[in-house]
Structures are given as C-alpha cells and as structure tokens.
C-alpha cells in the first residue's frame, strides 16, 4: 500500500480573494458603527432603504399560486419556457416578424447565465482571438470569458479626468487593434459601472466599426426599462444593430433589476443569425452546452415574468413600476448632487446628473473611498462606483457630508 498523503492535493492552489462586492458586504456587516451606509451591490431599494417587491410581481404571484398548476414543479425543456423566452425576445428586439426565424432564444440562469452560455458557445464556434470589454466593465465579464479560455482585452471607455465617455479613443482602439471574428461586449443601456452611455449617433458609429472590422457584438441587457423608464428607449441600441443588413449578434437579458426578481435568476440568451438554417445549427449547439451546464433552467421566476409580459393589464402596471423605480433613482442623483453643491464640495459633480441607471462613477480615488469607509462608514467599491438606489432621504445628507470630508481631506 502507498503512504497516506500528509498534505491536501489542493495545497498548491493559489489564494483567490473574495469577489470585491461580497468582500464589501462582509466589511460593512462587521462594522459596529451605529450609523453606516452601503452603496455597493446593484439592488434596488425603496425610499426607506428596504428591498422593494414590485406590486406587479405580487399580483403575478397571486395569479400563479391561484392556478395551482400540477406541473409547476416539473422539469422545463432544455431551452426553458418557450412562452417566457418568446415574450422576452419580443420585449428586447421588438416585433421582428421578418427575422424571427433567424433568432435563437433560450431561457438562462439570469444575466450571468446568459453571458456564460453565450461566451461558451461563441468561444467554441467563432474561436475569437480576443473578447473586447469596456474599461471598466461589469466585474464578472472578464471572469466569464477567462473561464472559457478567450483572451480578454479592453477598449477605452471612461475618461477619468473629464468624467465622461472616452469615445474617440474607444473608436481608435477598435479600428486599429481588433481582428475579424473578435467578440465585443456592449452594454445595451445604463453602462455598469459608469452610468455613461453612448449617444445614438455614437452607437451608429460603433455599429459601423463592428461591420467594417468583422466584430461580433454581444449585448448585455440588464436594465431595460430600469434606466430611462422607457422599454423601447433602453432597447434602441440593440435594435439598431439588429436592424442592419447581415448583422449577426448575441444578447444576454436579465429580469433581476427591472422586475426585482434577483433571487429567482430569470434571464435569456438570444442569438441573431443571418438565416433560419444558421439559427437551427446554432440552437443545437447552444442546447448541448445548456444540457451539460444546468440541464434545464428554473421554472417559477420565468412563470412570474411570463405572466407579467403576457397579461395586458399587468404589463401596463409594470410600466408604472418601472417609471417609479427609474424616477426615484433620478431623484436620488439630483439629491446627492445638490447636497454636494450646497456643501461646496471641491470639484464638478455634474456628471452624477448626466449618468443614467443604477450606478454612478463618482470619480473618487481609492484613497478617498478608504476615507469614506474608515471615517464616514460609507461603503462603496474602490473604483468609486456607487449604487444610487442605496441612497434615500434618510441617508443622502450623511453620504454627501462623508464625501465632502474625504475630498477636502486632500486625499488623491
């Protein structure tokens, strides 16, 4: 018999630090300060700082529960609920009757699952030399693409000095450094983490570059209706790309934010191909990967989303919920901006108002962020990104005062 090993077979593994978002939560929880604020994760809160269950979701729950479907715990198909992913597709793409047979849609485990499923498929089928992410981008994008073995590269996006989109350098980089077949990840609206979106004319230029350079666009759509309060406005960029001749693309879609279904993990992956024949082939490969990763996606959240999307009266009520959430976020942006201006906080804070959606890139330095945590007990990411819905009438003055002190402390 061989000797029993004295060390773990995993002892040579490197240490992987906890994801920054969850590390922030742990640090916040451990802080004994009686008054503290966390503006980290992208979760919508109401005016009292509490999680908000959308009224339309409550109604959908009652409808679903009263039906008492005996198959409510049965497996879905590998592609998920056809009623759900069809309604989700129409919400995102609009009515595209002439192209519907060329779009492959499957239910996914929220936006992360859709991104992951799409990345796995595209890495195998297109074999891109690189995937191009905005600098900065959602923290999980690089992780997802690294896990499928695709080199991650970045295009300029945030101009830290001017606190706006670095569009000129973005286009220069895409024109000069990308290769045909490369994938470019684009945020459909409410860019995470900066809150800065291209204008419609800029989106058209980006589409031109993608076609000219042979890039494959992969849209991440986590905030439709949650950014501007208008579903069609927030889908404009993707629909413009999809409306171009011979433009193929992928889109990850999430209902975590716009329906508040965070824990239900409701999402979809859509792939627009050049022909129905191509779509048939794509679907087979996507379902093979889905089968190997999750077999079938979960049922209840998709059932709730489908109920809202397909019930005319409930859908109209949902539009009001979206406007309420987006309006409160805009109000909190203005409140924070106005408090900083009233305090005379050094610097120009106008970018807080011009950014859109759940997040704001404040422009605070890592040292200033550390001051916020240690002295003000206000917890935000080291990048200076804040989750605006975490602000409310009861804490916005406190947060603004803490920012003011960090900036005046001369920390750069």
Catalytic residue IDs: 138, 220, 257
The residues that bridge with 153 in the sheet, in sequence order, are 132
**Structural tokens at position 214:** 């042979």
Distance between CA atoms of 311 and 56, rounded to whole angstroms?
A: 11
Residue keyed to tokens 């539009």: 319
**Structural tokens at position 208:** 């031109």
Distance between CA atoms of 237 and 219, rounded to whole angstroms?
A: 9
- Residue 405 has a CB neighbour count (10 Å cut-off) of 17
Helix axes 110-125, 139-147, angle to 10 degrees: 40
Tell me which residue of 143, 116, 100, 84 sits closest to 252, measured CA to CA.
116
State the alpha helices, DSSP H only, in 214-311. 231-234, 236-242, 276-293, 300-310
Helix axes 167-177, 200-213, angle to 10 degrees: 10
Tell me the C-alpha to C-alpha distance, in Å, between residue 374 and each of 99, 228, 296: 54, 34, 45
Strands, DSSP E only, in 58-138? 103-109, 131-135
Residue keyed to tokens 């508040």: 260
**Structural tokens at position 14:** 């490197």
Residue keyed to tokens 């916020």: 372
- Burial letters 219-247, b for 16+ CB under 10 A, else e: bbbbbbbbbbbbbeebbbbbeebbeeeeb
Contact 377, 185 (CB under 8 A): no
């Amino acid at each position: 018999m061989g000797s029993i090993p004295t060390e773990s077979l995993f002892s040579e593994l490197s240490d992987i630090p906890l994801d920054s978002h969850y590390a922030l939560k742990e640090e916040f929880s451990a802080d004994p300060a009686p008054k503290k604020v966390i503006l980290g994760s992208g979760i919508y809160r109401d005016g009292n700082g509490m999680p908000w269950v959308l009224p339309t979701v409550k109604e959908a729950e009652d409808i679903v529960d009263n039906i008492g479907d005996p198959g409510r715990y049965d497996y879905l198909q590998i592609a998920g609920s056809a009623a759900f992913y069809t309604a989700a597709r129409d919400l995102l793409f609009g009515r595209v009757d002439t192209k519907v047979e060329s779009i492959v849609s499957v239910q996914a485990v929220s936006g992360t699952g859709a991104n992951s499923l799409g990345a796995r498929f595209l890495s195998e089928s297109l074999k891109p030399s690189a995937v191009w992410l905005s600098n900065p981008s959602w923290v999980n994008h690089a992780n997802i693409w690294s896990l499928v073995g695709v080199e991650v590269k970045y295009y300029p996006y945030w101009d830290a000095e001017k606190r706006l989109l670095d569009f000129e350098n973005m286009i220069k980089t895409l024109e000069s450094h990308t290769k045909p077949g490369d994938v470019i990840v684009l945020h459909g609206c409410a860019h995470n983490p900066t809150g800065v979106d291209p204008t419609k004319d800029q989106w058209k230029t980006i589409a031109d570059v993608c076609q000219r350079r042979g890039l494959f666009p992969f849209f991440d759509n986590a905030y439709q209706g949650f950014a501007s309060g208008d579903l069609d406005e927030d889908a404009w960029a993707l629909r413009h790309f999809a409306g171009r001749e011979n433009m193929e693309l992928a889109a990850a879609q999430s209902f975590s934010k716009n329906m508040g279904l965070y824990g239900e993990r409701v999402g979809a992956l859509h792939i627009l191909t050049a022909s129905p024949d191509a779509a048939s082939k794509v679907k087979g490969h996507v379902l093979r990967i889905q089968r190997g990763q999750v077999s079938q996606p979960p049922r209840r959240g998709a059932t709730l989303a489908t109920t809202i999307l397909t019930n005319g009266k409930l859908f109209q009520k949902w539009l009001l919920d979206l406007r309420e959430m987006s309006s409160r976020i805009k109000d909190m942006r203005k409140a924070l901006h106005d408090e900083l201006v009233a305090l005379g906080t050094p610097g120009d804070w106008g970018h807080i108002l011009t950014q859109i959606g759940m997040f704001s890139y404040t422009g605070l330095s890592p040292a200033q962020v550390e001051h916020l945590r240690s002295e003000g007990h206000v917890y935000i990411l080291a990048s200076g990104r804040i989750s605006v819905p975490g602000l409310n009438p009861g804490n916005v003055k406190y947060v603004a005062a803490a920012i003011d002190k960090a900036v005046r402390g001369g920390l750069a």
